[in-house]
Structure formats: structure tokens, C-alpha cells
Structure 1
Amino acid sequence: MKWSGRFNGYSKEAFRKDIVAGCIVGIVAIPLGMAFAIASGVKPEYGLYTTIIAGILISLLGGSRFQIGGPTGAFIPILLAIVMQYGYENLLIAGFLGGIILVLMGVFKLGALIKFIPRPVTIGFTAGIAVTIFSGQIASFLGLQNMERHEYFYDSMKEIVLRLPSLNIYSILIASICLAALIVTPRVLPKVPGSLVGIILSTLVAVWLFPDKVATIGSAYGAIPASLPNIHGLDLSWDRITAMIQPALVIALLGSIESLLSAVVADGMGGSRHNSNRELIGQGIANIVTPFFGGIPATGAIARTATNIKNGAVSPMSGIIHGFFVLLIVILFAPYASAIPLASMAPILMMVAWNMSERKAFAALVKARTSDSIVLVLTFLLTVFTTLTIAVEVGLIVAVLLFIKRMSEMLTVRKVLPDFSSSKAKVSADIVSAEHDCPQCSIFTVEGPLFFGASQSFAAFSDWIESGHQLKSVILRMRNVPFMDTTGEAHLMDLIKRLQHLGVTVHVTSLRAQPRRLLTKTGGLQLIGEEHLFEHTGEAINAALSNLNKDHCLGCRHFAFRECAELCGVNPREAAYPSPTAKPASRMTRTVLKD
């Protein structure tokens, strides 16, 4: 998607709609920007600077028509942990490095890889982040005093319990007023941002009725400057870069996930189609530039993006306007923000946490009681009680291991024979029995991916197949093997070599494209021999029967093939062919690879 393409046919009417949408989103973004910054352990103005700079650049350079960028709730636990462990200046360095990583991800077209993160992992860490945000606002809601910030959930909850005697009834009242406004406003005035109404109403009550009774932004952080800060450099020494590269990777990973999820939501609501790699580049540039203005890491904001679309946005211009609108408000009204009570911010963030919690999807996955439920709960608990990095790493590893287990269970090998009750004599596993099973020629249908996860099962099959001492030919039907890796190829070749060493001829039928390409590269096809490759099972059977030991056929009464009567010297009318309901000889003859 070319940048100019997003403005094709742009008109004055479209610009008017973008102005309206941009201003409304700007109104929504102001209290959220301050609240996210405070919850992340930095001054509220840094959230506003991020909203302005990152918001403009993401809309200008990103790959989504309607994306609104800025500080988001998902970043709160990560940024707070970085600030507590490394300090604010190092947070800026981490954000800068995270931006570089995002740009590289876009340049090398890694945007599509984000889609491969399992849904239980994303829902798990999103719900975990929501719990962390919500619990982190309890102290401000209750007005607890002398609170110490802690990186981990358990320590934070312990601190709240210890400080409960210091709760402030005025803070609870102010927070309750804001919370009521957040709940009632969307029902009564759906076009008016509830967070703005809540902050204004609760601030007026605090100023007029309870002056100096509750902590405010001014008393905790000082006055908010009525301008952008001067550009200042970052201490990009090698020691700091190496120290912050891991936090930067976490910022880049979460930022890419959040921004692309938001872009997908925007596509669904606005009928557009985003460019994921361009979106990562735009997000990266925004995060590279923002730290020089004191801003914190930013990404696509799903709620603000949805608000942008619902209010009639036409192009990325609405996001650019939203950034300049916030700048105008900062210049004109920043001094008044000092009177906002911290208790007014708490319910806003609690509501953000509630909305982002994915509670319905979480409950549905838990009720399903599948392996995905394990991944979900594990990722959620690790996000809450440890760190997001550990949660995502462990969640991905467990998800991959469980996926490998499921895929390995899909690989089955069934011993089959032609079913003469069928008009086309198709092969069937149901007719194989102790009384109906050719001792010299075995046919096996292999189904499922033949890869490293199924190697143990295939090895068990290999050991069993060699137990047939009279075997002269083995036919492997491979039509239902869609994929083969080098481990699976090695086990297949090992089986063929062992059988060939015993004098058994191996025929392979219906080999699909990917396994054929791999066997060509590894020399496997040369080992099998082109003369032993067939498209149809009937052709392979004809070749195998020509290789039988005719002396062993004399006296045999299995009649596995139509040709058996003639080979045994019996009148075809006297040959007894089993019905499809014949009892199988054993579990192994029917399904070999379940062990």
C-alpha cells in the first residue's frame, strides 16, 4: 500500500470528517496518555508527549489507514518493571532500541510471523496484563499513603494489605464518582468520552468540596509544562545498549503484536487492508524518535483506533490531527491538569483493564479443557506472578511441544488389503485378519506428517515390519503424507535399507510433491529406485506379486489377492474371500503407530 494511495480522491468533505474524528480521539487520548504514564512509573506529561509525537508519526508512516498510536495499557507492566529496575533514562534507551528492532522486523518482512503466535498465548498474557493493571490501581483508588512500588504481583498485593489502615475516604469517593461517570456516560451520552466526563466531574468535586484532601497530579509530580520539551540526546554507550537489549526485545515483541492486532481490528471495522511490514516500520520510526522528546514506548491502540473509525475517519489524516489536537490542548490547558486527583485516574485504568481482559475468550478456552487451556492458564499465571518475557517464552514452548505431540498422534500406519466386496476393489484395513493376510506381500497406508515428532512411533513400526520372515515385498501408500522433514526421511530410509538388506523389495505409491522434493535432494529416491515408484496401488501390487516365492503360495489359504487362487492351484470359485466385517488379527495389524 503506497502512502499516496491512502489519500486517493481525498476531498474537503473527507478532511472535515477526519478533523471531527481526530479531535474526538484526541479528547479520549489525553486522560489515557496521562494515566498510562503514571501507571508506568513516569510523569504524566511523558504520556502526553508520546501521544503527540508517536501518534503523528504512526499515522503518517504506518501501514494502516485508521491506526491510532500512542501509549497503551499493555505496556504498563513492562515499562513499570524497566523504570523500577533500570530508571527512566534507560527506559528511553530501551524504547529507542525497540524502535530499531521494529524497523528491522518490517524491513525483513517479519510482520506475517506475528500471526503464528498461538491465540491461547496472546489471550493469556493479555488477561494477565489486565490483572496487573487493575491490581496496580487499587492503592490509588483507596488513597493509600506511603505506598512503595514493587515489580511483582505478590509483593504489590502484600504492600496494599500492609497500607490498608491509611486508606482515604475522600479518595474512595472521588474514584467512585469517576467510575460512575465511566459506566453511565456511554449509556446516556454515547458520543461523549466517559473518561473525560469522569475526570472533569471528579476533579471539580475534589477542588470545590475536598480541597487538599486527596493527592493530585500536581502534588505528586508537579505542574505539567504547557509545551513540548526540548530535544535531548540519549546516552547510547555500549554498556547501556547491552544492558537494555533484552527489555528492548520485549518492547518490540509486544509492540508488534499489539499494533498488528489493532490493525486487523481496523481492517474489519473500516473495510481496509493494512500492510503489516510497513506498519512495523512506522511503529519503529515513531519509537525511535519519541524518546528524544522524553516519550515512552508506543504502539497501536485498539480502543482509540475503533473510536477513530466509529466517528467517521476517512484517512490517516485523522490520526495526525489527533496528535496536533493533543498538542494544542497541552499548550492551552496543561496547568489545569495539575488539579486532577490521582484517584480519578485509577478507575479509568481499571476500566481499560476490564475491557482488555479478553474474559469471554478466556472463559471459553478454559471450558474447552483442551491442551490450549493449559497453555492459556500457564501463560496467564506466569504473566501475573513473574514477567511477560517468561510468560511468553514458556507459553510458546509449551504450545509448540503440545502441538508436536498432537501432530505425532496424527501419524498412523494401517495394514490394508484389497476389499473385493467393493466394486473397484479399494484397499481396506477392516478385512485384514489372522486368516486373511498375505505372508509375502504387505501393504501399508501411511497417514499424517512424517516428521521428528513422530520418529519414535515410526521406529516402532519399522521394528515390527521386519518380523515377517517370509516377506518378499512391502508397499507403502504415501498419498496421505503431506509433509516430511529430514528426521522423518532418515527413519523412512533406515526402514527401506533394513528391508532391502533382508531381501525385501519396497514399493512406494502416490508420493506427494513435498516429500518427493526432499527425497530427491537427499538421494532417497535413488535408494528406492524409480522402478519401484508408482502412482497407483494396483500397479505396485502387480509388481509385488511378480516377485513372490511361488513355492510358498502352494497350500496358502489366505487369498489376500485375486491372483492368489491361481498361485495356490485352487479353483477361483473355491477361494474364500473375507467379508468387510471380518475380525482383525490383532491391534498391530490394524493400527501400528498408536504406541
Structure 2
Amino acid sequence: MSMPLPSLIELQRLYEPKLLTVLRHGYTIGNLRQDLVAGLTVAVVALPLAMALAIASGVAPEKGLHTAIVAGFLISFLGGSKVQIGGPTAAFIPVVFAVIQKFGYGGLILCTLLAGLMLIAAGLMRLGTLMKYIPQPVVTGFTAGISVSIFLSQVKDLLGLRMGAVPAEFFARMQALAQHVASASSSAALVALACVAFVVALRRWRPAWPGFLIALAIGTACSTWLSLPVETIASRFGAVPAALPQFHIPHIPFERTLEMLPSAFTIAFLAGIESLLSAVVADGMTGGRHRSNGELLAQGVANVAAALFGGLPATGAIARTAVNIRAGGRTPVAGIAHAGFLLLFMLLLAPLMGYVPLAALAGILVVVAWQMSDVESFRHLMKGPIGDRVVLLLTFALTVMFDLTVAIEVGLVLAAFLFMHRMSEVVEMQSSNSLIEADDDNGDAPDQRAQLPPGVEAFQISGPLFFAVANRLDEVFNQFPAPPRCFILRMRGVPLIDASGVTALTQFLQRCERHGTRVILSGLRSQPRQILAQMHIEQDGDQLRFAKDFAEAIALTRENSP
């Protein structure tokens, strides 16, 4: 029996790869030329990163390259974003390192397979939109915690410490590093410091240049020419094979599947969150719209394939996706080309990769860790309500000192309890006579709509602007065919706002500013006004204004009107 037409349309809307959409709408030679240039640019950036991420995770460098090639191809080929670039990312380093320490590489293969199946199931169950509702303090907390963990994992190679395997557990790691700090190599520290300095300098004065690759090439050339006593890829792992990724299944401890489920869930969670965050960032840069459930499905398939080709967990890489967009990539062909160029580099440059100093790769990862820490967002959230600050700091501390799985679980549970507490306060406030006042903000009244001058639009929010509804604010702007000259956001019905709501409001204001649209916040209550002031969202007299009610907002729209 054939599927009804509406169901087929719905499936196409949810799961059709963006590649098919692009090809159906027309793809020209000019598009191909642009995508090939972007793919080459991203491949140059991804080459040193893939090797560095693999080594930091505790495996040979070719594992990272295989992941970037296989998973990168599939994420672009099947994904729900036009410009997403997939591959290994720094977020997986602490998790992968801990899994290999505990279960071996075969255990990692099983965890990655299970994570891939979880992502496929999440896509089929249409959970893509739900994953956007993770509170901002939880996301920022574990992201900052991961960045610290990445830095700590690189101390051995940064300083050239003469020690065995670094323990995965935080306190044991710190003790081991302290015991061996006297064995530090000045040559390794100098190479690492030079690479960090090169990358930072190039980003400041030549941001379009591939800083990672240039720093790696200079560090390798100098250490080889000067015969510095530093450990290299070849000295630790042997020669990098100049061969295609091979399909194989190593020994997998299936009997320990239940033990690995928490780690597999963490990998799936990170892959889902990071890929969707990357897709949202890409949408903001290109003006496109990704298919979240289709993206999860592609991420799941890519992780299953990466495991079967002896790779690592993969997801959408925000930095590489941004490089792709800036280089002119606008279709999935750029991501496919990036995987092809990486394969070509591996086949041609494998003999030279063995000379790369591990200290140089560690220096590159230090820069990656700093970028990932997102210090500005951390500071911004620390100005928010006390409950959000507690969630942020607790998630951060648990990520660094214990386990990412525990950090996410505790962060989400605490955020849920915080939400329930806030909702109970709202119910009490709403029952107070002092807040039941005459209100002219009855948004859909025809007479009020008629008051709007030409080029002015209004939208009313009713209810708390918290993490579970903050993402809907971005949809407000999409409802209008052309950007208005002025936008009234009526907020008398908003009793409270949290840090995620402020973040969403900030992004909305930035989007309006990019389109030349002035914004007036009408009828702000005391709690939202106080939190906005705490987090430095203040009226500037031009782009953003506050009005006590709708009548005053209308009057403000007539100022400086054409």
C-alpha cells in the first residue's frame, strides 16, 4: 500500500539531504568552482587538527584523518545542513581518552557504534528540536570544562614530560603530572610556545591564512633542521600509512555493553548537541535553515561508518564550518570536497607527517581549547540569576574533576529543579493583587493593530522567557516577509527571564541590528528589567529603547520616522 502524499511530503521536509535539495534546484559550474575552493581551504585547516585530536584522544594520528574523511563525507552527503563540516572535534577528547583507558580501543568502537545508533533513533523519533532546549548554563559549563580537560591532557606533550600514560582521572592525572614536572624538556616547551605564538600572530595580522598548518610546518621544519630532542609522531606511533581507510571490525567486548552505555550516551549527546549548535551558527551566517532531524540521522550514520573504518566519534565542527562559509562554501559539495582533499593529502604527505613534533600538535590544541572555552559567554552568564550561576559552575566543576556524563545529568536535573522553583514563584506572583493591573497590551486587538505606523511591526510574548522557550524568539523575525524599520516586542506578559532567555533576546537584537531594524521593548516587568540590567542589555537611545506601555512605544516609533 502506498504512503499517502502528505506523509511523503513530511518525510521529505524532515529527512531529505540538503545535497538533493541543492541539486534539484540547480547546480552550476560556478557553484562547483566555489565549493572546491572552500573544500580545499577547510581541508588545509582540518589536516593538522584531525591528527592532533586523534593523538590527544590516545590513538594514532591516522585515526583522526580516517574519521574526517569517512564521517566528513557522509555528514555532508546525507546531512540536513548545506554547509556543515563534520569530523572529529575537541569535545570528544576527554570522553574518548577515558573510554580507551577503561575498555580499550575495541570498547571505543562499540561505544561509537552505539552512539551512532542512538543518534539515528533520535532523528527518527524527531528529537532534533528537543535537543535545542538544553539550558545555556549547562552547555557553557560542560564546554568550558571540556576545554580545561583538553589543556590538562596536553601538558605532557607541551612540556615534553618523560612519563608513561597519563591517567584519565583528574586527581590521579594532576598527581602524576606534578611527580614528573622535573623531567620537562625545554626544547618541547619552546616548540609548543612558538606554535601557539605563530597561530595567535597569524590570526591577528593574517586571519585568512591557514594558521594551524603554517605553525605546524614551521615547527616541524625548525625542530628537524635544528635536530631538537623532541618526540615526533613517528617516534611514538611509527610511520603514518599512506593508504585508504580500511573497513574492519576489531575485537569488540560485547559482553561489557551495559557498562559502556553511559559513555555511548555521552558521545551521542555531544555529537547531537555540537552538530545542531554548529548548524544553528551556520544558519545565522548564511541565512539558511537546517533540518535538525535529518542532521541527527546523518550524524548517526557517519558515526557508525567511522567506527567500522577504525575511526573516532564525529560531529559537526563549528570552527571548520565557519571556515567553509567564509571561504565561499554554500552547498554540501564543499564538505564532500573537503573529505576528498584530506584523502589526497594523506596519500601524498603521509611520509612527511612522521616528522611532526608532538609538542607542536599540543600547542595547536591549546589554542583550540582556549577558543572552545568561550570565556566571554562564561563571564556573561556569571552576571545572570544566582540559580543559573550555580548550574554553570557545578556543571563546569563536575566536567573537569569527575565525568562529563555525571556533569550533564546533574546540570540538567538541577536546571529542571530551578525551573520548577521559578514556576512556583510565578504562580504566587500572579495571584497577587499588586500585579493584576489594567494592561493595554492585548496584542491582537484590531484598534491597536491600526495604531501601528507604516514599517512598524509588533509581537507579544506571554509567559516566562526561559530556556525551554528561548529558541522560539528567533522565529519572530521569520514571520515577516521584509524586515520592518521598527519592531515593538511587547513583554508585559513576561513575568521572568533567565540567562538562556537573555541570550536568545541578545541574538534577536543582533539580528535586528544587522537588518537595520530598531527594537522597542514595551511593558518590561521588574524581574526581566533587573536581569537585563545585570547582564548589560540596556537601551542606547537609538537601536534599543524601553517603553512603559504600548502607547509610549507607538510614540517612540514616530521619532526619526521617514
TM-score by length of 1: 0.69
**Which residue in 2 is equivalent to 1:391?**
407
Question: d(CA) in 1 for partners of 2:433 and 2:225?
Answer: 87
Does the CA-based 8 Å contact 1:78-1:388 persist in structure 2? yes
| Shift in alpha-carbon separation, 1:242–1:187, aligned structure 2, 3 A | same
Counterpart residue type for residue 413 of structure 2: I
Paired residues, number: 424
Match of residue 357, structure 1, among 365, 373, 391: 373
**Which residue in 1 is equivalent to 2:294?**
278
**Which residue in 2 is equivalent to 1:46?**
63
Counterpart residue type for residue 330 of structure 2: V
Q: State the shift of 1:414 in Å.
A: 4.8
Where 2:41 maps in the other structure, the secondary structure is helix
**Which residue in 2 is equivalent to 1:497?**
none
Match of residue 196, structure 1, among 207, 210, 213: 213
Question: d(CA) in 1 for partners of 2:100 and 2:253?
Answer: 18
**Which residue in 2 is equivalent to 1:560?**
none
1:250 and 2:285 are equivalent in the alignment: no
Where 1:87 maps in the other structure, the secondary structure is helix
Question: Matched residues, percent identical?
Answer: 46
Query: Which of structure 1's runs of 4+ aligned residues deviate more than 4 A?
Result: 234-238, 413-417
**Which residue in 1 is equivalent to 2:457?**
none
Question: d(CA) in 2 for partners of 1:244 and 1:416?
Answer: 54
Counterpart residue type for residue 51 of structure 2: M
| Shift in alpha-carbon separation, 1:320–1:229, aligned structure 2, 3 A | closer
- Ranges in structure 1 where 5+ consecutive residues have no aligned partner: 423-446, 450-479, 483-595
1:150 and 2:155 are equivalent in the alignment: no
1:227 and 2:243 are equivalent in the alignment: yes
| Shift in alpha-carbon separation, 1:249–1:188, aligned structure 2, 3 A | same
| Shift in alpha-carbon separation, 1:414–1:128, aligned structure 2, 3 A | closer
Question: d(CA) in 1 for partners of 2:175 and 2:38?
Answer: 43
Map 1:402-421 to 2 at 5 A.
Answer: 402-412=418-428, 414=431
Map 1:523-562 to 2 at 5 A.
Answer: none
Counterpart residue type for residue 324 of structure 1: G
Map 1:269-308 to 2 at 5 A.
Answer: 269-308=285-324
Does the CA-based 8 Å contact 1:46-1:295 persist in structure 2? yes
Match of residue 80, structure 2, among 60, 63, 68: 63
Map 1:367-378 to 2 at 5 A.
Answer: 367-378=383-394
Does the CA-based 8 Å contact 1:148-1:159 persist in structure 2? no
**Which residue in 2 is equivalent to 1:92?**
109
Does the CA-based 8 Å contact 2:249-2:310 persist in structure 1? no
Q: State the shift of 1:290 in Å.
A: 1.1
Does the CA-based 8 Å contact 1:216-1:342 persist in structure 2? yes
Question: d(CA) in 2 for partners of 1:192 and 1:380?
Answer: 33
TM-score by length of 2: 0.73
Counterpart residue type for residue 300 of structure 2: G
Match of residue 38, structure 2, among 21, 30, 46: 21
Question: d(CA) in 2 for partners of 1:252 and 1:448?
Answer: 32
Q: State the shift of 1:235 in Å.
A: 4.7
1:37 and 2:54 are equivalent in the alignment: yes
Q: Over residues 41-73 of structure 1, what are the superposed CA-to-partner deviations in whole Å (9 max), with x where a residue is unaligned?
A: 111110000000000000000100000000000
| Shift in alpha-carbon separation, 1:416–1:45, aligned structure 2, 3 A | closer
**Which residue in 2 is equivalent to 1:322?**
338
Question: d(CA) in 1 for partners of 2:333 and 2:42?
Answer: 12
Question: d(CA) in 2 for partners of 1:32 and 1:379?
Answer: 27
Where 1:109 maps in the other structure, the secondary structure is coil
Question: d(CA) in 2 for partners of 1:43 and 1:235?
Answer: 17
Where 1:397 maps in the other structure, the secondary structure is helix
Question: d(CA) in 2 for partners of 1:69 and 1:233?
Answer: 22
1:172 and 2:193 are equivalent in the alignment: no
Question: d(CA) in 2 for partners of 1:104 and 1:41?
Answer: 29
Question: d(CA) in 1 for partners of 2:29 and 2:494?
Answer: 59
Question: d(CA) in 2 for partners of 1:414 and 1:241?
Answer: 52
Does the CA-based 8 Å contact 1:186-1:194 persist in structure 2? yes
1:310 and 2:331 are equivalent in the alignment: no
| Shift in alpha-carbon separation, 1:401–1:230, aligned structure 2, 3 A | same
Map 1:327-342 to 2 at 5 A.
Answer: 327-342=343-358
Counterpart residue type for residue 24 of structure 1: T
Counterpart residue type for residue 222 of structure 2: V
Max Rg structure = 1
Question: d(CA) in 2 for partners of 1:234 and 1:302?
Answer: 31
Q: State the shift of 1:138 in Å.
A: 1.7
Question: d(CA) in 2 for partners of 1:42 and 1:357?
Answer: 24
Q: State the shift of 1:377 in Å.
A: 0.4
Question: d(CA) in 1 for partners of 2:180 and 2:165?
Answer: 10
Where 1:242 maps in the other structure, the secondary structure is helix
Question: d(CA) in 2 for partners of 1:126 and 1:233?
Answer: 32
Counterpart residue type for residue 103 of structure 1: I
Q: How large is the Cα RMSD of the aligned pairs? A: 2.2
Does the CA-based 8 Å contact 2:262-2:405 persist in structure 1? no
Does the CA-based 8 Å contact 2:106-2:252 persist in structure 1? no
1:266 and 2:282 are equivalent in the alignment: yes
Counterpart residue type for residue 243 of structure 2: S
Q: State the shift of 1:365 in Å.
A: 1.4
Q: State the shift of 1:234 in Å.
A: 4.8
**Which residue in 2 is equivalent to 1:73?**
90
Question: d(CA) in 2 for partners of 1:152 and 1:126?
Answer: 18
Q: State the shift of 1:93 in Å.
A: 1.1
Does the CA-based 8 Å contact 1:170-1:210 persist in structure 2? no
Question: d(CA) in 2 for partners of 1:229 and 1:365?
Answer: 43
Q: Over residues 522-541 of structure 1, what are the superposed CA-to-partner deviations in whole Å (9 max), with x where a residue is unaligned?
A: xxxxxxxxxxxxxxxxxxxx
Q: Over residues 418-453 of structure 1, what are the superposed CA-to-partner deviations in whole Å (9 max), with x where a residue is unaligned?
A: x9xx9xxxxxxxxxxxxxxxxxxxxxxxx999xxxx
| Shift in alpha-carbon separation, 1:175–1:10, aligned structure 2, 3 A | same
Does the CA-based 8 Å contact 2:212-2:364 persist in structure 1? yes
Does the CA-based 8 Å contact 1:147-1:160 persist in structure 2? no
Q: State the shift of 1:154 in Å.
A: 2.2
Does the CA-based 8 Å contact 1:137-1:346 persist in structure 2? yes
Where 2:337 maps in the other structure, the secondary structure is helix
Does the CA-based 8 Å contact 2:107-2:252 persist in structure 1? no
**Which residue in 2 is equivalent to 1:124?**
141
Counterpart residue type for residue 89 of structure 1: G
Where 1:185 maps in the other structure, the secondary structure is helix
Q: Over residues 129-156 of structure 1, what are the superposed CA-to-partner deviations in whole Å (9 max), with x where a residue is unaligned?
A: 0011012112211111114311122222
Question: d(CA) in 2 for partners of 1:239 and 1:205?
Answer: 49
Does the CA-based 8 Å contact 1:185-1:197 persist in structure 2? no
Match of residue 215, structure 1, among 202, 224, 231: 231
Where 1:267 maps in the other structure, the secondary structure is helix
Question: d(CA) in 2 for partners of 1:272 and 1:112?
Answer: 16
**Which residue in 2 is equivalent to 1:11?**
28
Does the CA-based 8 Å contact 2:243-2:346 persist in structure 1? yes
Question: d(CA) in 2 for partners of 1:325 and 1:414?
Answer: 64
Where 1:319 maps in the other structure, the secondary structure is helix
Question: d(CA) in 1 for partners of 2:32 and 2:396?
Answer: 43
Q: Over residues 441-475 of structure 1, what are the superposed CA-to-partner deviations in whole Å (9 max), with x where a residue is unaligned?
A: xxxxxx999xxxxxxxxxxxxxxxxxxxxxxxxxx
Question: d(CA) in 2 for partners of 1:350 and 1:271?
Answer: 32
Where 1:5 maps in the other structure, the secondary structure is helix
Counterpart residue type for residue 307 of structure 2: P
